[in-house]
Amino acid sequence: MPSRICSRLARIVASLVLVVASVTTRAQSQEAGPQSNTTGLLVGVLLNGNSIDSDELDDANTGGGFSAQLGWGFTPMFTILAGVSGARMNDDPDDFVLVHFDLLGRFNFRSGEHAFVPFLEVGTSARIAGQDDAIVTVGGSPQTVDLEMAGGAFTFGGGFHYFVAPTVALGANLQISTGDFTTVEIDNVEVEGLELEATSTRLNLGLTWYPMR
């Protein structure tokens, strides 16, 4: 009798072990499955820190703002992005406003089973900036003017996404845009032949949603 009980207990324990092993294996398989998705539609909302540097502007300008992105992942490794970002530079009454319109290609280095996806970006941007009572060096002497300017830029950078769910990723990236402001208005008068070379830098932190998963 005791031997039968022991035998039955052994079978029950063995069955429990098999069940636990099966559940554990299935959970591990699910954890090792696809953790990221970089194809199809993406929508991004990000906060950013901005800076712009130019030899023609005496003061360095830094500030914060936000960015919005809309894109399409043609493959897990390549995405086209359109974005807009705006920032208020300098925390004083004479704000310097800086806006970027971006058209970028993003190259993802990993996807699928990886939750962490680094990427590089490259493309073109249109920049618009303006400030009241800006100090501009014209003809070797500084002047205080109302300044508006616009122009194109070459933009490049990189960053990463970390997928907290198959359709949602937290991310950060650094973008550098360099080029000339070719349309310059000083006190509402367009200045012919005046080009302001400038480099702007943006550090973006935010959330990206891939709704087509």
The pLDDT value recorded for residue 58 is 56
- Same domain assignment for residues 182 and 106: yes
CA distances from 83 to 71, 112, 207 (A): 8, 25, 14
The pLDDT value recorded for residue 194 is 75
- Same domain assignment for residues 137 and 48: yes
pTM: 0.76
- Same domain assignment for residues 118 and 94: yes
Domain holding 14, by residue range, is 1-32
Please count the helices (runs of H) and the strands (runs of E) in the chain. 1, 10
The count of domains in the chain is 2
| Mean pLDDT (whole number) for 183-201 | 83
- Same domain assignment for residues 16 and 95: no
- Same domain assignment for residues 165 and 153: yes
Residue identified by tokens 């990000």 is 46
Contact 186, 145 (CB under 8 A): yes
Q: What is the pLDDT of the chain when averaged over all its residues?
A: 80
- Same domain assignment for residues 15 and 89: no
Query: By three-state DSSP, how is residue 39 classified?
Result: coil
99 band by pLDDT with thresholds 50, 70 and 90: very high
- Same domain assignment for residues 19 and 44: no
Q: What is the pLDDT of residues 20-76, one digit of tens each?
A: 344 334 434 444 444 788 899 999 999 999 998 887 665 667 889 999 999 999 998
156 versus 26: the higher-pLDDT residue is 156
- Same domain assignment for residues 82 and 50: yes
CA 16 to chain centre: 48
CA distances from 76 to 30, 59, 110, 191 (A): 20, 43, 8, 46
- CATH at residue 145: 2.40.160.20
- Same domain assignment for residues 102 and 172: yes
Q: Is the dihedral of CA 21, 26, 29, 30 positive or negative?
A: negative
136 versus 88: the higher-pLDDT residue is 88
